[in-house]
């Protein structure tokens, strides 16, 4: 494994980071990704308390995940390979009330996922 591969992080996006315009703004490039799913979760809409993010996106409510423990609850999204620097840029982009957690996707891939914390 090369050092570039060793430093690659996986990020599962179920929201705005799948958008090419957002990717260009945040990362300076369009990301190539693979579809995957996250089981035991449902997608919900949740209001953010981050006024800057709400102003930048034009919306107060955004997608969020809720853990259900029910295997048939599935969230579809895309897994992207990012450098550590790009992952940190994604951290800066996400609302301040979201946190990055490491979860295992349906494919068996471990990937970072942003989830709003209460």
State mean pLDDT over 81-110: 93
Q: Delineate the domains of the chain, giving CATH numbers in brackets.
A: 3-116 (3.10.490.10)
pLDDT one-digit tens code per residue, 49-59: 767 766 777 76
Across the beta sheet with 9-13, what order do the strands follow? 33-39, 74-82, 9-13, 110-116, 98-104
pLDDT one-digit tens code per residue, 88-99: 999 998 877 889
State mean pLDDT over 14-22: 93
pTM: 0.83
In sequence order, the 6+-apart residues with CB closer than 8 A to the CB of 31 are 17, 23, 80, 81, 82
Strands 110-116 and 61-67: unpaired
Spatial separation of the C-alpha atoms in residues 92 and 94, rounded to whole Å: 6
């Amino acid at each position: 494994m090369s050092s570039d591969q060793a430093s690659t992080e996986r990020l599962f996006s179920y929201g705005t980071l799948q958008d090419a315009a957002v990717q260009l703004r945040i990362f300076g490039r369009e990301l190539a990704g693979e579809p995957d799913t996250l089981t035991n979760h449902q997608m919900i809409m949740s209001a953010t308390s981050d006024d800057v993010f709400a102003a930048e996106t034009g919306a107060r409510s955004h997608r969020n995940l809720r853990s259900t423990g029910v295997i048939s609850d599935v969230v579809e999204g895309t897994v992207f390979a990012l450098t550590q620097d790009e992952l940190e840029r994604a951290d800066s982009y996400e609302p301040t009330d979201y946190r990055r957690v490491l979860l295992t996707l349906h494919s068996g891939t471990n990937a970072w996922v942003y989830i709003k914390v209460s």
